[in-house]
Amino acid sequence: MNADLKHRNARAIISVGAVLVALAFGACGGGGSSGTASVGDCIDAGKQVVDCSSSSATQKLVSDQSDPKAIACVQIGSNPQTEVKVGDGTFCAEKVK
């Protein structure tokens, strides 16, 4: 009976460990979908993160509006910024040059 209890405890620990690894992987942007956007990333017309050298890249994310020190998007000048929502984040973006 003692061996059976150890076996159940080991399974429980492994299960909890697997859940923690899955959560950590997801929080780091793993999974291969559009991923988590961050400043410096480029997006396409569908607001999906793409490589900045891709021909489908239309905008580059230049500031994260959730940052406590963020300022409003600069909408003057030759390359005005627009506010875009990518995933759960809101960013200022400008056209890819």
The model's pLDDT over 1-59, given as tens digits with 9 standing for 90+, comes to 566 655 555 555 554 444 443 444 444 443 333 458 999 999 999 999 999 999 999 99
Task: Write the DSSP assignment of 66-78 as a string of letters.
Answer: TSTT-------SS
**Which contacts qualify for 29-33: CB closer than 8 Å, 24 or more apart?**
none
Give the model's confidence band at 96: pLDDT under 50 very low, under 70 low, under 90 confident, else very high: very high
Dihedral sign of CA atoms 63, 66, 68, 72 in order: positive
Q: Whose structure tokens read 């998007």?
A: 73
pLDDT tens digits for range 55-79 = 999 999 999 999 999 999 999 989 9
